[in-house]
């Protein structure tokens, strides 16, 4: 490649790196301080000037829309990867839920409280996710691992639930793994799966509440 061609590519790479840095910073700061955090705080987290942010995103709504598109791209990428893996349809759904849980803090989506985006691109992305999930369920119906009456919406709604941690609950990763297995048991066409232990009881919940209350008291 000529020096001129490399010079043209470098600004594009830099712009893309700035874009991803801004979006990652937005997720981090919004998780920490809420979605009404000043945009200047997001720019500072990303290590760029506020002018750089406004050149890319005119206002908070534009930034939230970009985060929503980013989340759709992430989920479509996960489904594409899982579609290439061997295994039953039920195993594929379990893998999808596990991966969704792992990236839950990145999923700025309407079912997570983000303003619904109705652009053709967003609608297409949602339909793509639905279609790919139905494909995994159809695989499960054919191999006998998934019951016939489950659909993609069931999976999407459950994924939205487990990717939003309880505010004051105990050991959310462990609790979420158990809920995923219970959900897979409900989908299973060939009998229940072993639920990962130990069980989380009322005492665990009260302990979690007590820790939260004690931490709040120390901050006063």
The pLDDT > 90 percentage for the chain reads 49
Helices (H), 89-220: 89-102, 120-143, 152-162, 172-187, 202-219
pLDDT tens-digit map of 172-216: 899 999 999 999 999 998 766 676 777 676 777 678 767 877 887
- Assess if CATH 1.10.10 describes domain 1-58: yes
What pLDDT band is residue 95 in, cutting at 50, 70 and 90? very high
Mean pLDDT within 94-104: 96
Q: Are 83 and 132 in contact (CB under 8 A)?
A: yes
pLDDT given for residue 82 in this prediction: 98
Mean pLDDT within 47-53: 89
177, two tokens:
């793994």
175 CB neighbour count, 10 Å cutoff: 18
Tell me the C-alpha distance between 194 and 113, whole Å: 33
- Assess if CATH 1.10.357.10 describes domain 67-219: yes
Tell me the C-alpha distance between 204 and 156, whole Å: 28
Interhelix angle for 120-143 vs 152-162, to 10°? Answer: 110
Lowest-pLDDT range of 29-38, 71-80, 132-141, 211-220: 211-220
What pLDDT band is residue 74 in, cutting at 50, 70 and 90? very high
Mean pLDDT within 139-152: 90
185, two tokens:
């048991």
What pLDDT band is residue 4 in, cutting at 50, 70 and 90? low
Q: Where are the domains of the chain?
A: 1-58, 67-219
């Amino acid at each position: 490649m000529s020096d001129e061609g490399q010079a043209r590519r470098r600004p594009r790479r830099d712009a893309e790196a700035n874009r991803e840095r801004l979006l990652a910073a937005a997720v981090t700061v919004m998780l920490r301080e809420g979605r009404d955090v000043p945009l200047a705080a997001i720019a500072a987290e990303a290590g760029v000037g506020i002018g750089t942010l406004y050149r890319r995103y005119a206002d908070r709504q534009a930034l939230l829309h970009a985060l929503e598109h980013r989340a759709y791209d992430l989920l479509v990428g996960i489904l594409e990867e899982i579609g290439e893996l061997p295994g039953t349809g039920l195993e594929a759904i379990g893998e999808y839920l596990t991966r969704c849980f792992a990236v839950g803090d990145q999923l700025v989506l309407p079912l997570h409280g983000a303003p619904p985006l109705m652009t053709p691109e967003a609608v297409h992305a949602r339909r793509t996710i639905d279609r790919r999930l139905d494909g995994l369920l159809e695989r499960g119906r054919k191999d006998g691992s998934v019951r016939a009456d489950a659909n993609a919406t069931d999976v999407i709604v459950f994924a939205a639930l487990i990717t939003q941690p309880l505010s004051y609950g105990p050991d959310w990763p462990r609790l979420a793994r158990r809920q995923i297995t219970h959900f897979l048991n409900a989908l299973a066409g060939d009998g229940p799966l072993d639920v990962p232990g130990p069980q989380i009881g009322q005492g665990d919940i009260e302990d979690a509440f007590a820790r939260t209350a004690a931490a709040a008291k120390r901050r006063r």
